[in-house]
Structure 1
Amino acid sequence: MTTHTRSTPSLAPTAGAPPPAGTPDTRYEDELGRGLRAADEDAFAAIYRRWGPLVHTMATRSLGDADEAEDVTQQVFIGAWRGRAGFHPERGPLGAWLVGITRRKIVDALAARTRRLELVDSATRGARPGPPGGVADEVLDRVLLVHELSRLPSDQRDVLCLAFYEDLTQAQIAERTGMPLGTVKSHARRGLHRLRRGMEQGRTATA
């Protein structure tokens, strides 16, 4: 039995044996729960294989974004590993405990998304002279910007938020996020192109 406790085991799915033949499902779940509390990495890998698809499905349905759902899935299992001492079998099954963590992580992700969009929306106010159409067009532009930004892939959205609201250079964004500089430039270029195209289509549709 492996008992590393200072690092999080790899979350990549690995081949593993199914529940022992003839073993009731609840008994196998209890064994995995004991393994988790004992910092057994093999048990943790089995837990990830068993509940990973459920967690990912919950996150995808709630967030509607594949990248964010993948991030939440990783956060759930990292949180489960780091917080394994907080799992108490007498309070409920392991699966229910993981679902509870998943719901909290989804709420956190939605709150973070809302904060990002509110920051961008707030930053657009007074950022440029009012358009010829007056206040109504200015409000429409802000609504379109927030809407189109929310539709971007998460990496593109995050890069543009950092550049627009925090006024970071692309090099600073690369340092902040850990992305290669070329990747940051690509996300910024593609994100701006999609934003401009989406806002133009939105203005045309409301004209």
Structure 2
Amino acid sequence: MTTAPRTGGDIDDSDLVAGFLKGDEACLTAVHHRWGPLVHALARRSLGDAREAEDITQLVFLAAWRGRAGFAPDRGTLPGWLTGIARRKIADALAARTRRNELVAAAGAQLLLRAEDEAALPEAALDRVLLADEMSQLPAPQRRVLNLAFYDDLTQTQIAEVTGWPLGTVKSHARRGLRRLAGRLRQDDLVECAA
């Protein structure tokens, strides 16, 4: 007598979690089938975009599968753990969206400035040199964080992974570096105005 394969609805939560932790791909499929709608709904509600929510859902389950050794059933439920991963992935997506919007706005502003005044091109080159000089005077950690953020287009979470620093440290370096740059650039403007 052969038995039909069990689906995600046929397996109780404890067996499902045990199989998932052991690396049973059928249990991964069942976990995705059972709690994928929860993760997708959370992402869709937070992001307002069905396609992006699908991407986030896939990222969540990929991260859960790769990091399943880090799940401790005695500290919480599997759906709670998946929800925590989803919240982090959603936050990263929102931060990336904000950064993209800021870059697009900045690029648009630059294009408008260039179109308005062709003669300003030498000044733009001078501004880039001035900015590079000011960046070089920042403390090394602040300079590294800002370079990774602006030139390598990394999120603060990705910068923390690359540098091995805690996320709060990365955020502090970014904030201090930007404040210091803004202050120095304002001082230069005041010196030019006084001259």
Q: Give the TM-score normalised by the residue count of structure 2.
A: 0.53
Match of 2:9 among 15, 18, 34: 18
- 1:97 is aligned to 81
State, as a whole percentage, how many aligned pairs show the same letter.
Answer: 55
Does the Cα contact within 8 Å between 1:76 and 1:105 map onto a contact in 2?
yes
Say which SS state the counterpart of residue 78 (structure 1) adopts: helix
Give 1:127's aligned amino acid: L
Following the alignment from structure 1 to structure 2, what is the Cα–Cα distance between the partners of residues 100 and 46?
A: 19
Q: SS of 2:44's equivalent?
A: helix
Q: Structure 1 residues 58 and 40, CA, compared in 2 at 3 Å: closer, same or farther?
A: same
User: Displacement of 1:37 after TM fit?
Assistant: 1.1
- Gap runs ≥5 in structure 2: 1-5, 117-195
Q: Alpha-carbon deviation of 1:33?
A: 1.4
**Aligned 1:110-121 pairs, distance under 5 A:** 110-121=94-105
> Which one has more relative contact order, counting CA pairs under 8 Å at least 6 apart?
1
Query: How far 1:17 moved relative to its partner?
Result: 5.2
Q: Aligned Cα RMSD in Å?
A: 1.8
The letter of the residue matching 1:19 is D
Q: Determine the C-alpha separation between the residues in 2 that align with 1:41 and 1:17.
A: 12
The number of residues matched between the two structures is 110
Residues 93 and 118 (structure 1 numbering): CA distance in 2 closer, same or farther, change over 3 Å? same
Q: Quote the residue 1:4 is aligned against.
A: none
- Equivalents in 1 of 2:51, 2:9: separation in Å? 29
Q: Say if 2:68 is the partner of 1:77.
A: no
- Alignment partners' CA distance in 1, 2:9 and 2:43: 25
Give the secondary structure class of the aligned counterpart of 1:18. Answer: coil
The structure with the largest helix share of the pair is 2
Q: Which residue of 2 aligns with 1:168?
A: none
Separation of aligned partners in 2, 1:66 and 1:80: 21
Name the aligned partner's letter for residue 29 of structure 1. Answer: D
Q: Amino acid of the residue matched to residue 106 of structure 2?
A: S
Which amino acid is the alignment partner of residue 16 of structure 1?
T
The gaps in structure 1 that reach 5 residues or longer are 1-14, 21-27, 131-207
| Superposition deviation, residue 125 in structure 1 | 1.6
Structure 2: distance between partners of 1:111 and 1:58: 17
* Contact kept? 2:8, 2:34, Cα under 8 Å: no
* Distance in structure 1 (CA, Å) of the matches to 2:47 and 2:81: 20
- Kindly state the Cα deviation for residue 53 of structure 1 after the two structures are TM-superposed: 0.6
Give secondary structure in 2 for the equivalent of 1:126.
Answer: helix
The 5-angstrom pairing of residues 28-177 of structure 1 reads 28-128=12-112, 129-130=115-116
Change (3 A) 1:48 1:82: same
TM-score (norm 1): 0.50
Residue 29 of structure 1 contacts residue 93 of structure 1 at CA under 8 Å; is this kept in 2? Answer: no
Say whether the 8 Å CA contact 1:76–1:102 is kept in structure 2.
Answer: yes
